[in-house]
Amino acid sequence: MENQRNISGFILLGLSDDKNIQMFCFVLFSFCFVALLVGNVLILISIFCSPLTQQPMYYFLCHLSFMDICYTSSVTPRLIDGLLEGTKTISYGYCMLQVFTLHFFGTIEVFIITAMAFDRYVVICKPLHYMLIMNRTNCHLLVFAALVGGAAHSFPQLCMTIRLPFCDSIEIDHYFCDIFPLLRIACTDTYITGILVVANSGIIALVTFIVLFISYAIILFHLRNHSAEGRRKALSTCGSHITVVILFFGPAISSYLRPPVTFPEDKVMALFYTIIAPMFNPLIYTLRNAEMKNAMRKVWCRALFSLKA
């Protein structure tokens, strides 16, 4: 613990030392971050200013959009600043904050995606009981359960990280602070801690992915009894959700459900679940959703008409 107190900060090695690659990444991820912010803010405003806010699926979508903003904002601004200014140092406190916020908001997002899958299951497999099961009280409870789940996952992660002692090595081979890269530079035996991290992060991601896979398999099985129009509409909505699940869970499972070691490919995999997947969420949920596109068109046309008047 004495060694830990002597550590005032770390050095993030980032994505690359090549200046040309750094400039390319700065432009690319700046665009991704702006697109994510604009897209999710448009979704939030469009839903809140339309009757869609009364529907459970769009209620969850609002929370997912907000979590996307919080989740990516815990990593991307620091990455962009490092690429532009060349600043690689990060304070110990900010590093621990990144560990906590990344896992807190990321886990909430996982559980909200699961709640959205449950909503689709009920509307397709139990249509007569949909309004009873997915009433607003139950929707609030599901979001609250997601918040509790996020806290239950992230606080143990933070406690394990804070207890790690660090000696002379303070270079983190990553572009943000996460527990696996920190385990690599800790000056103690981290085998047990690594196993606990895998059990905490990896198992949660895998079990959630299996639950989602089974739920969508059941949904697709039930769709055989629907009309062609009903199948088309349901498949369009579920297709959006499945795309989000694959983009988010694939890289996350690959990163956390394995022995607690780090590889050069980890940075690329992390880009998918911290920046790329959240950036595509607004596009996936709007371009493939007729109700969402109509709501956005009405809200923003009304807004433009009001400005002209």
pTM of structure: 0.87
Look at residue 72 and tell me if it is in a domain: yes
Q: Is the pLDDT of residue 145 over 90?
A: yes
> Could you tell me the maximum CA-CA distance found in the chain, to the nearest angstrom?
68
The model's confidence at residue 3, banded by pLDDT at 50, 70 and 90, is very low
Task: Give the residue among 65, 79, 68, 101 at the shortest CA–CA distance from 28.
Answer: 79
Look at residue 209 and tell me if it is in a domain: yes
CB contact at 8 A, 3 and 165: yes
Question: How far is 138 from 290, CA to CA, in rounded Å?
Answer: 26
Q: Residue 132's domain spans which residues?
A: 9-304
Task: Give the residue among 268, 265, 266 at the shortest CA–CA distance from 276.
Answer: 268
Identify which has the larger pLDDT, 9 or 151. Answer: 151
> What's the structural domain count of the chain?
1
The residue type of 275 is I
List the CATH number of the domain containing 224: 1.20.1070.10
Look at residue 95 and tell me if it is in a domain: yes
Look at residue 3 and tell me if it is in a domain: no
DSSP code per residue over the chain: -HHHHT--EEEE--S-S-HHHHHHHHHHHHHHHHHHHHHHHHHHHHHHTSGGGGSHHHHHHHHHHHHHHHHHHTTHHHHHHHHHH---EEEHHHHHHHHHHHHHHHHHHHHHHHHHHHHHHHHHH-GGGHHHHT-HHHHHHHHHHHHHHHHHHHHHHHHHHHT--B-S--EESSSS--HHHHHHHBSS--HHHHHHHIIIIIHHHHHHHHHHHHHHHHHHHHGGGS-HHHHHHHHHHHHHHHHHHHHHHHHHHHHHSS-S---THHHHHHHIIIIIHHHHHHHHHHHT-HHHHHHHHHHHHHHHHHHH-
Task: Give the residue among 189, 158, 180, 190 at the shortest CA–CA distance from 258.
Answer: 180
Lowest-confidence pick of 76-85, 183-192, 244-253, 281-290? 281-290
Residue range 52-109, pLDDT digits in tens: 888 888 899 899 999 999 999 999 998 898 888 776 888 898 999 999 999 999 999 9
Look at residue 274 and tell me if it is in a domain: yes
Look at residue 2 and tell me if it is in a domain: no
Look at residue 4 and tell me if it is in a domain: no
Residue range 30-59, pLDDT digits in tens: 999 999 998 899 888 888 888 888 888 889
Residue range 216-238, pLDDT digits in tens: 888 878 777 766 766 676 666 67
Tell how strand 171-172 and strand 9-12 pair up: parallel
Look at residue 283 and tell me if it is in a domain: yes
Identify which has the larger pLDDT, 27 or 195. Answer: 27
Identify which has the larger pLDDT, 285 or 279. Answer: 279
Compute φ and ψ for 226, nearest 5 degrees: -90, 165
Q: Is the pLDDT of residue 275 over 70?
A: yes
Residue range 155-192, pLDDT digits in tens: 998 998 898 888 777 888 888 888 888 888 888 888 88
**From the centroid of its chain, how far is CA 29?**
16
